[in-house]
Amino acid sequence: MRPLNGLVFLIGTLLLLTPFSTTLAANLNEDPSEATVRHIAKDLRCAVCQNQSVYESNSDLAQDMLGVIRDKVQAGESEATIRDYFFQRYGDYIYLEPTKKGMNLLLWFGPILGLFIGAYALLAAFKKWKARGDDAIKPAEGSKSQAMQERIEKELNDIEI
């Protein structure tokens, strides 16, 4: 019975790893310029798809963009030049990951800044509440508080336990 379990495990493992091995083999035999095309296309957003890269999209526009990237890589243009080409046509939207300059700095550092401002505001509120709470505990001076104190003592004395 044990050899059968081992054989089932081996066949299952081979079946699970088969899709990965074909992808790995395809990447090993890939043209170096195609690796550059893939690298650039994975960082660029398809202009008509919802948050898909040019490399992953099946739309006609994405295929055209992929063709442009291939042509420019074959022509020997650098990655920065190719990215700038698409940036000039589509703006910041074309990048899947926002750039770290201009107003996009707010996207990158705004949440952290908001967290610090919120923590400061919360700390200030706690200090204010604590100071107000300490004042509330102290008996207020004046005739009204004295009259209130006497009334409380009278009512406590009248209660039968």
Residue 28: pLDDT above 60? no
pLDDT band, residue 93 (cuts 50/70/90) = confident
Q: What are phi and psi of 103, to 5 degrees?
A: -70, -15
Pick the range with the lowest mean pLDDT from 39-43, 44-48, 131-135. Answer: 131-135
pLDDT for 15 equals: 67
With respect to CATH, is domain 2-99 assigned 1.10.8.640?
yes
Residue 95 bridge partners (DSSP): 44
Cβ(52)–Cβ(46) under 8 Å? yes
Residue 65 has, within 13 A of its CA and on its CB side, a CA count of 29
- Cβ neighbours, 10 Å, residue 82: 21
d(CA 51, CA 36): 21
- Residues 79/86, Cβ–Cβ less than 8 Å: no
- Alpha carbon 60 to chain centroid, angstroms: 29
Q: If pLDDT is split at 50, 70 and 90, which confidence band does 113 have?
A: very high
pLDDT 10s digits, 51-85: 888 998 888 888 999 999 999 999 999 988 999 99
Residue 159: what pLDDT? 84
Write down the domain spans for the chain: 2-99, 106-158
Q: What is the pTM of this model?
A: 0.51
What per-residue confidence (pLDDT) applies to 141? 59
Taking CA atoms, 65 is separated from 8, 11, 83, in Å, by 46, 41, 11
Confidence of residue 119 (pLDDT cuts 50, 70, 90): very high
Looking at per-residue confidence, does 1 or 11 come out higher? Answer: 11
pLDDT at 138: 59
Specify the 3-state DSSP secondary structure of 95: strand
- Cα separation of 49 and 149, whole Å? 74
Would you call 149 helix, strand, or coil by DSSP? helix
User: What would the mean pLDDT of 126-151 be, rounded to a whole number?
Assistant: 74
